[in-house]
Structure 1
Amino acid sequence: MTLLEALFVFVVGYVSGTVTRWFAGFAAFAALALAFFGLAAPPAFFDLVDPVVDVYTGNELLFLSGLLFAISEVRQTGRARARRWRRRRRD
């Protein structure tokens, strides 16, 4: 695997993690509804997914590292932390 391929797999994992973080509730509800109605994975879906899965076979840890890195990302500025600390101190 070249460095460019490794970077690509990590970036795709990172983007997937970001999307997962944004739409986790909606995705869970949609998956439950699709499974309930028996529409979860039509056979044509697997024909589309197989080439993509071939890219990630053997690179699962790299993909998961990007996914988990994006999910756990919490951005707070120093000002936001200071405001929260002051509020706790007042109470």
Structure 2
Amino acid sequence: MTQNDVVIKQIELLQYKIKIDHKLGEYSIITALVDTDHGQIEILYDEGYRGDDALNDSANILVQNLGLSGLILRSLISLKNELERIEK
């Protein structure tokens, strides 16, 4: 897949379980790791008390609601900004 002349090689959602509250459940941080021909970038996708199946729920929402294009665009903007910062 190509977006703005950048080849998207792979997109992964990663879950970091930060803490468990006895009333609210697991607190998770969900990030998206996007691998491109210009490098990799990991961005925040979601966080909070999202239950035991937070990663699958996030993936389903992302795919079913056409959020994938928005995620890719956000990732490419972040990657571009990071590469510009490194070059300075």
Greater helix content: 1
Greater strand content: 2
Q: Give the number of the structure with larger relative contact order, counting CA–CA contacts within 8 Å between residues 6 or more apart.
A: 1
Q: TM-score, normalised by structure 2?
A: 0.32
